[in-house]
Amino acid sequence: FNSILIGIQTQLSIQNAIENFRLQDQIGNADLATPVWLFVIDIGFNVVFFLELVLRVLALEGRFCAGSEWKWNGFDALVLSLSMVDMALLAVDIKASHVRVLRLARSVRTLRMLRLLRYTATVRKLRVITLAIINSRTMFMWAVVVLLLVLYLFSVIFLYAVSQYIADAAPDDIIVEDLTVF
């Protein structure tokens, strides 16, 4: 569900950048708002991630910072912190077109998907057992899933870069017209 939400946010980001570019000639620097329902879903994800992180801190106690998975725990805390800062800046109604750091913080949302890498060791063991039963079909399926995941992540990063370029482009930039076609 998180990857679907990231895809929707990326699509809206591209649409907003294109619309802002088109409105630049008419009304100056426009800033289209993110839909409320998307903001509410984002709050829900952050609350769930926050509760998960708090429960892990309580369950692991000192091992949270010094245990075998301290790097993943730190990564989760960093992603959650950046996401909370992003939401706080949006709540104070700072215009995204004037704050480049906020755009960078919004792209950090894609890092949520990297949290899934934590479970690859468990999935690998499961994959070996399944491979013994079903032979090579399972290995092919996992290769396709990994390939699609990598393709999806790079497409999200590329689309964020395109929306950043369109948002920062001059009104007479001819490359933007080509980018809006594709």
Share of the chain above pLDDT 90, in %: 4
Lowest mean pLDDT among 16-20, 131-135, 152-156, 166-170: 131-135
pLDDT (tens digit, 9 = 90+) per residue, 139-169?
Answer: 778 888 999 999 988 988 888 888 888 888 8
- Cα-Cα-Cα-Cα dihedral sign, residues 29, 35, 40, 46: negative
What is the DSSP track for the chain? -HHHHHHHHHHHHHHHHHHHHHHHHHHSS--PPPPHHHHHHHHHHHHHHHHHHHHHHHHHTTHHHHSTTHHHHHHHHHHHHHHHHHHHHHHTT--GGG-HHHHHHHHGGGHHHHGGGGGHHHHHHHHHHHHHHHTHHHHHHHHHHHHHHHHHHHHHHHHHHHHHHHHH--TT-HHHHHHHH-
pTM: 0.48
| Residue 10, burial from CB neighbour count under 10 angstroms (0-12, 13-18, 19+) | buried
33: its two tokens? 């708002």
Residue 35's region, left for phi above 0, alpha for psi from -120 to 50, else beta, is beta
182: its two tokens? 């594709």
Mean pLDDT (whole number) for 121-147:
74
Model pLDDT, residue 146:
93
* Of 118 and 141, more confident: 141
